[in-house]
Amino acid sequence: MNRAALPHPDPEALAALGRDELARVLDQRVEAAWELCREVHPDLPMPRVWLDLRGQCAGQAHFGRGGLRFNPVLYTENRLDFLVEVVPHEMAHWLVHHLKDGRQAKPHGREWQTVMRRLFGLAPRTTHRFDTGRASPAPHRYVCGCGEHGFTPRRHALASQGRRYRCRKCAQTLVYHPGSAFENVR
């Protein structure tokens, strides 16, 4: 059984926060996660933080921009889970990227999983169950042999009634997979 390394946020206090306060709480959580990472990598730079991600993705470590991007709609609607899980998830990417040989590591590979388990005390999940209906016009996740596809509610309803859709690239039938990826892995 894992034990979360970061303190558990107070859900009632979180629920009462406005937009600016939420952004500040997110910054503080990123900083706390960064401090934890510095125990194993003292030279780790502090990532910048943006709330500018749209669609189904909850977060993204953007090494070119030098920071972490987060989805403001999913954060506002899932405050507690977002702080508990999404912030460490992205910070773990940030840490692995800055480790020696970290750039060769797979995005959710052994190194990333080890950071999630051992450092943050969290299960290394790569999908979230946030309701993405307001964050994305095509929130329903379908998978094929080559990747993921977002279905609109209308298309999802047709598929639920038995209509089959094939991927244009790999020709496999698309299969419904509830739960969205934390980010589009590049």
As annotated, the active-site residues are: 90
Q: Are 94 and 105 in contact (CB under 8 A)?
A: no
Cα–Cα distance for residue pair 86/88, rounded to 1 Å: 6
Q: Which residue is nearest to Zn ion (CB)?
A: 167
Q: Please, which of residues 145-174 interact with Zn ion by CB under 5 A? A: 146, 167, 169-170
Q: Which among 91, 116, 114, 81 has a CA at the least distance from the CA of 30?
A: 91
Only segment of 16-24, 44-52, 80-88, 137-145 that touches Zn ion (CB under 5 A): 137-145
Contact residues for 78 (Cβ-Cβ < 8 A; gap 6+): 130
Task: State the nearest-atom distance from the C-beta of 89 to Zn ion, in Å.
Answer: 6
Q: Are 68 and 60 in contact (CB under 8 A)?
A: yes
Task: State the nearest-atom distance from the C-beta of 93 to Zn ion, in Å.
Answer: 6
Task: State the nearest-atom distance from the C-beta of 15 to Zn ion, in Å.
Answer: 27
Place of tokens 């995005």: 107
Residue 175 is a binding residue for Zn ion (CB under 5 A): no
Give the footprint of Zn ion on this chain (CB under 5 A). 144, 146, 167, 169-170, 182-183
